[in-house]
Amino acid sequence: MSAADTAWLHMDRPTNLMVVNGLMGFEGPVDYELAKQAIWERLVERFPRFRQRVSEPLFGAGLPSWEDDPDFDLDLHVHRRALPAPGDDDALRRLAGELVAAPLDPAKPLWDMYLIEGYGSGTALIARMHHCIADGIALAHVLLSLTTGGPELDLAPPADVGTRHISAGAALGPARDVALMLDAAVHEGFEMLAHPAAETRAFVDGVASNARALAKLLLTGPDTATVLKEAPGVARRVTWCEPVPLEEIKAVGHAHGATVNDVVLTAMTGALRRYLEQRNSLVDEIRAVIPFNLRPLDQPLPAELGNRFGLVELPLPIAMADARARLAEVHRRMQQIKDSPEGPLSYRVLGLIGRTPPPVERRILDLMSRVETVVITNVPGPRQPVYFAGAKLTSLLAWVPTGGSIGIGVSVISYDGAVTVALQTAASIIPDPDQIVAAFAQEMHDLMRLQPHSPRPKRAHSHARSRPSTAIGPPG
């Protein structure tokens, strides 16, 4: 196991599991046996990590290693559950919250999937994969690799593990998944913080001369105390917003010289502001940690997966009540961190931490988690509908793990022309995350009503009126 993956493995805490959780909602029922075949062919056969377990070194000397699980059984990882009545979103939220708080079995490969039947007239699939297997971008590729571009069923019966063969379709699958996400990112303006490989090397080579970035990463004190910085407990709450049409978000960004990310971050900052204000805990700003991708997006995933990302800090201007000014400030701050060396540098630091003795590693990681209040990540999904085991995917979302003492994670994902924001919170810190989701919806509404900047009319007595916000068109 790489040193960076080791750091994520050892970041697990009973109150904060390092597990990436994803949810896929489907139109109509999904056949359980076909689902297992798809998972076998497109996940287990393609990526060895999903049939391997972690072996820790004796006495903590050295890095853990991956080893084939001699007792691997797909039925121990793919579970079938019935959603309790009334089978609605609230029931699914409760069940998902219970699953998110449950640790994975360290004696087996570190993943599980749950086929949830009785979700209205459809089905849901909850996927849980440990962060030591791969970063969020890679795991999004992995989850999408289960899908096809149409409802055709091209599945073969599961092969025996001992006589496994990788099919041509399985080998080409990851390349298709990369293309789906690249297409969404480029054409929908759904930006990921990333640097090409050449730039990344330049940043890493220049680390020695960038003492300020290193000091910021390791020596920054704890974030400002608010109700969001209380100690997390074991119980978790999950929720998500109603999908927001991507074209509407793009129109706001286009009108104000901002990106899709800027608009969503501005709305979430405003939602957190409302939540803190209601609890008499409003401060000037709180810090968010944002993943910074270091993996080439135009190349297929390696079979061994792994983590290839760093972390950057984004102070959220919580004190700014004016939505227009907040959008401009978020855009300015995002522009600053895009060219920062913090992402590649933090990846190297995590690798170094992964090589330290476990007690030292635990202490350092706990100290680092005190610096931020919230984790925010985003992933562009397919622009067009995709299918799993013949069923159409109707909704796609994820819950990012937080780590250490951080009690709130925000995940933004696009799919089929809409953006969904999902929250995972520690119940002891935010027992009512739906209030933040409701505030986010109101903030998005307010942003969409903003008029673009325009010069004042020259005639003092002009009765010309600005166009209503609904008339703002998509970018050209």
Report the pLDDT value the prediction gives residue 155, as an integer from 0 to 100.
57
Question: What pLDDT score was predicted for residue 450?
Answer: 87
- Cα distances (Å, whole numbers) of residue 342 to 192, 314, 367: 15, 11, 17
Mean pLDDT, to the nearest integer, of 342-359?
Answer: 72
Residues 427/5/304/180 CA torsion (nearest 10 deg): 50
pLDDT reported for residue 426: 95
pLDDT of residue 211 exceeding 70: no
Assign 217 to helix, strand or coil.
helix
Percent of the chain having pLDDT more than 90?
57
Measured from the Cβ of residue 353, the count of other Cβ atoms closer than 10 Å reads 21
- Count other C-beta atoms under 10 Å from residue 417's C-beta: 14
Let me know if residue 472 belongs to a domain: no
DSSP 132: T
| pLDDT given at position 195 | 54
Residue 37 lies in a domain: yes
Q: Is pLDDT of 395 > 50?
A: yes
Who wins on pLDDT, 307 or 268?
A: 268
The pLDDT tens digits of the residues spanning 213-230 come to: 555 556 667 888 999 999
Q: Is residue 37's pLDDT more than 90?
A: yes
Q: Tell me, what's the pLDDT at 168?
A: 39
Which residue range forms the structural domain that includes residue 356?
Answer: 3-158+168-452
Higher pLDDT, 338 or 317: 317
pLDDT over threshold 70, residue 184: no
- CB atoms under 10 Å from CB of 140, counted, come to 24
The structure's pTM equals 0.84
pLDDT digits (tens, 9 = 90+) for 69-100: 999 999 999 999 999 999 999 999 999 999 99
* pLDDT reading at 302 higher than 70: yes
Q: 28-32, 72-76, 184-188: which range is least confident on average?
A: 184-188
In a domain, 418, yes or no: yes
More confident residue, 111 or 365: 111
Angle (deg, nearest 10), helices 433-449 and 260-278: 130
Is 473 a member of any domain?
A: no
Q: pLDDT, tens digit, for every residue of 48-59?
A: 999 999 999 887
- Phi, psi (rounded to 5 degrees) for 319: -70, -15
pLDDT of residue 160: 47
Per-residue pLDDT, averaged over 193-202, amounts to: 49
Beta bridge partners of 414: 380, 419
Top pLDDT among 26 and 452 is at 26
pLDDT above 70 covers a percentage of the chain that reads 78
What 3-state DSSP class applies to 351?
A: helix
The average confidence (pLDDT) of the chain is 82
| Averaged pLDDT for residues 148-165 | 56
Q: Is the pLDDT of residue 444 over 90?
A: yes
What is the predicted pLDDT for the residue at 217?
59
Q: What is the DSSP string of 56-124?
A: PPGGG-S--EEEE-TT--GGGTEEEEEPPTT-SHHHHHHHHHHHHTSPP-TTS-SEEEEEEEEETTEEE
CA distance 125 to 36: 12
CATH number of 329's domain: 3.30.559.30
What average pLDDT does the segment 414-425 reach? 95
User: Quick check: is 371 in a domain?
Assistant: yes
Q: Which residue has the higher pLDDT, 293 or 230?
A: 230
Give the pair of three-digit tokens for residue 4.
């960076």
- C-alpha dihedral, 392 to 422 to 415 to 318, nearest 10°: 170
The region, left, alpha or beta by phi > 0 then psi within -120 to 50, assigned to residue 116 is beta
Mean pLDDT of 254-263: 94
Question: Would you state the pLDDT for residue 358?
Answer: 74
Number of structural domains (the chain) is 1
**Looking at the domain assignment, is residue 463 inside a domain?**
no
Is residue 460 included in any domain, yes or no? no
Q: How many helices (H) and strands (E) are present in the chain, helices listed first?
A: 13, 15
475 occurs within a structural domain: no
**pLDDT the model gives residue 312:** 83
